[in-house]
Each structure stands twice: as structure tokens, then as C-alpha cells.
């Protein structure tokens, strides 16, 4: 384990929280397009998103959308409020597409060689 830690393969240890058990009744993946003239703001946008309560992860992706935000909210109305309050008020963000997560199934978490 020490060798893997020193090599940077193991980045840390953490408790894995269950958002539903912690009071989040709904989880979603929100795909976000950043406006063309605001691409230089992506690092700042990502940093800001990571500080918002309920945000589990933020992914920078390629394709039609630029970001995927994994959120956990107390309810569907709470998710709607999240979208309106935290994304709708950011001028640099364009179209969003929200996918509600029904179930999660962990993968093997092993990097193929």
C-alpha cells in the first residue's frame, strides 16, 4: 500500500456516503454546455460548482456538452431549485440537460492493464 501511495496510484482514503441515507431523495446528472465565448471560464465555473452543497462530482467532458454535474437533492422540487438558483443564474452557461438517477451500481474500480 505504501508503494502505491508514494507512486500516486492511491490518492487518499475516504468514507463513502450514501446520499439517500443522508437525506437526498433524488440524484441527477446534469449535462451543461458552456457558451462559446466563455470557454476560458471553465476552470472558475468548475471550482465554483464544487463548492455548492449537493454537488457530488463535476466532470469536464468532450462532445455536445462540456460539463456533467452529479448532484444529490432532497426532492425533485429541490433539484428544480438547484437548477434555477445555481445554473440558471450563470451567464456563461448555455443549455442544460438533466437525467434523474434511478439506481447506481458500482463498477470493479480496477484500471485495466
The pLDDT, as a whole number, for residue 104 is 84
pLDDT at 14: 73
Any domain includes 39: yes
Is 71 in contact with 80 (CB distance < 8 Å)?
A: no
- The parent domain of residue 34 ranges over 26-101
pLDDT at 10: 79
What's the confidence (pLDDT) of residue 74? 94
Q: Provide the grid cell at 17.
A: 456516503
The tally of domains found in the chain comes to 1
In this structure, what CATH number is given to the domain that contains residue 47? 3.30.70.920
> Is residue 15 in some structural domain?
no
pLDDT by 10s per residue, the chain, length 113: 888 888 887 788 877 767 667 666 899 999 999 999 999 999 999 999 999 999 999 999 999 999 999 999 999 999 999 999 999 989 999 999 999 999 988 887 777 66
Segments of 6-102 assigned E as strands: 26-34, 55-60, 67-73, 93-101
Domain contains 69: yes
Q: What is the pLDDT of residue 87?
A: 94
Whether 29 and 101 have beta carbons less than 8 Å apart is answered as yes
Cα separation of 78 and 18, whole Å? 18
**pLDDT at position 17, please?**
64
Query: Does residue 42 form part of some domain?
Result: yes
Asked if the structure places residue 9 within a domain, the reply is no
Among residues 82, 84, 79, the alpha carbon closest in space to that of 26 is found at 79
Instruction: Confirm whether 94 is domain-assigned.
Output: yes
Domain-embedded: residue 16: no
Does 76 fall in a domain?
yes
37 to 89, 92, 103: CA distances (angstroms):
17, 8, 36
- Asked if 63 contacts 26 with a C-beta cutoff of 8 angstroms, the reply is no
Amino acid at each position: 500500500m505504501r508503494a502505491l501511495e508514494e507512486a500516486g496510484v492511491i490518492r487518499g482514503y475516504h468514507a463513502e456516503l450514501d446520499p439517500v441515507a443522508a437525506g437526498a431523495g433524488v440524484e441527477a446528472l446534469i449535462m451543461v454546455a458552456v457558451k462559446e465565448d466563455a470557454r476560458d471560464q471553465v476552470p472558475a465555473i468548475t471550482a465554483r460548482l464544487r463548492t455548492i452543497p449537493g454537488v457530488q462530482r463535476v466532470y469536464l467532458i468532450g462532445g455536445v456538452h462540456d460539463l456533467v454535474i452529479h448532484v444529490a437533492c432532497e426532492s425533485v422540487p429541490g433539484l428544480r431549485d438547484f437548477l434555477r438558483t445555481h445554473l440558471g443564474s450563470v451567464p456563461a452557461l448555455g443549455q442544460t440537460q438533466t437525467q434523474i438517477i434511478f439506481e447506481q451500481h458500482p463498477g470493479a474500480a480496477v484500471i485495466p492493464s
